[in-house]
Amino acid sequence: MNVMELLLQLPQQSLARILHHLDNGETERSKQRCIEKVIRRLTDINDRTASIKNLQRCERQLVIFVSMSATAEWALHELAGLVTKSEREHVHHALAVLEKEGWLFPLPMERWIMPDELKKIAGNFLKQSVSMEAVTVPAQKPDRHTLLTDLYTFIDEVKVKAYPLTQQKTIGKSQLGSLLKKLEYQEDIPNEKWRFGYGRHFNYYPDRFSLIYDLAHNEGWIQEEVRLVVTTKWEEAEEMSVSRLMQRFMLTYVKEYRRALPQLPVLIKILATVLGKDNLALEKETVVSLLYPFTDDYYYDDRSAVIKKRILPMLVHLGYLCEKTFGSETYYSLSSSDLHGNRFFSSLL
């Protein structure tokens, strides 16, 4: 719904309240003139940019998260579920501010909506916030082959060795170490004292292997009995296209990691929005700064660690992002992947 359609539905009292707030005490009795003045403010890029810069963290989270979603209308509990856990207590106040600022409009039955024009402005604000740090790089194809090759290697090893499982249903440490050495991407068995929340056996398997294992388990390709066995479902998987397998990987990643990072689908879409279609790349610390306001700490991972350890490397493994080092700096760009479309992310948000 566009701004004009929404303003026409609002009662005069609500319009007057928005105008009074936006125009420093301006009053207007005529509904038509009131709408004309309000719509000028709400569609003015400079005005909207100044507004969003002045929003508090919860208010900005709501604006950005709503603008990234294909959902048309939001109930209160849905809006509260959008923001990070640390900001949920501020949602009621944030809604009052965003109504006055003209970002969210109340509908009957305690629902809220954001006009289409404002969604675009919010997305453009994110792009402009890092535009000075962005560089242009050649288009890069995603490196999916190592992830898929390691999936096939893992399944083949399970077929041959039918690993005996521990009481915790994990592969024994010595056999796991030997298995990891056979994979193209080398990882060590985790040795952190505290390790939380990322994958089925997150406390024992390294991140990338854990994702491979989770996909195989969730799809029913492997089964945890006394030994780890490959099921007949794997025969169907062998017929899947590369594109379909990679979508399965992405969905598995989002499903497993959003238990710890509920905002993960939106964070991924923010990256897609900012890096966009212009072959742009951002240095690692700029990406961290971009996503930082929209994440929370998770146990012993602070917000920077969540982004640097749990999001960026995994999206590179998945072929969603490309990682490139220039001198001493690491840059990230969007790959030429088929996982970037709005239709795909609409199913995740």
Give 120-151 pLDDT, tens digit per residue.
999 999 999 999 999 988 776 766 679 999 99
pTM: 0.90
Task: Give the pair of three-digit tokens for residue 292.
Answer: 């930082």
Mean model confidence pLDDT for the chain: 90
Q: What is the largest CA-CA distance in the chain?
A: 81
Number of H helices, E strands in the chain: 18, 9
Q: What phi and psi values does residue 28 have, to the nearest 5 degrees? A: -155, 125
CB atoms within 10 A of CB 195: 15
CA 211 to CA 29: how far, in whole Å?
A: 61
H or E element, residue 303: helix 303-305
Judge whether residue 68 has pLDDT over 80: yes
Give the pLDDT confidence score for residue 142 in this predicted structure.
64
Judge whether residue 23 has pLDDT over 80: no
CB 94 within 8 A of CB 58: yes
CB atoms within 10 A of CB 303: 18
CB atoms within 10 A of CB 236: 11
Give the pLDDT confidence score for residue 288 in this predicted structure.
98
Give the CA dihedral 26, 30, 31, 32, nearest 10 degrees: -100
Give the CA dihedral 328, 131, 346, 97, nearest 10 degrees: 120
CB 334 within 8 A of CB 276: yes
How far, CA to CA in Å, does 314 sit from each of 212, 264, 292, 320, 329? 11, 12, 17, 9, 19
Task: Give the pair of three-digit tokens for residue 231.
Answer: 């099921």
Distance of CA 160 to the CA centre of its chain: 38
Judge whether residue 343 has pLDDT over 90: no
CB 155 within 8 A of CB 221: yes
12 versus 228: the higher-pLDDT residue is: 228
CA angle 3–9–10, rounded 5-degree value: 90
Give the pLDDT confidence score for residue 186 in this predicted structure.
94
SS3 338: coil
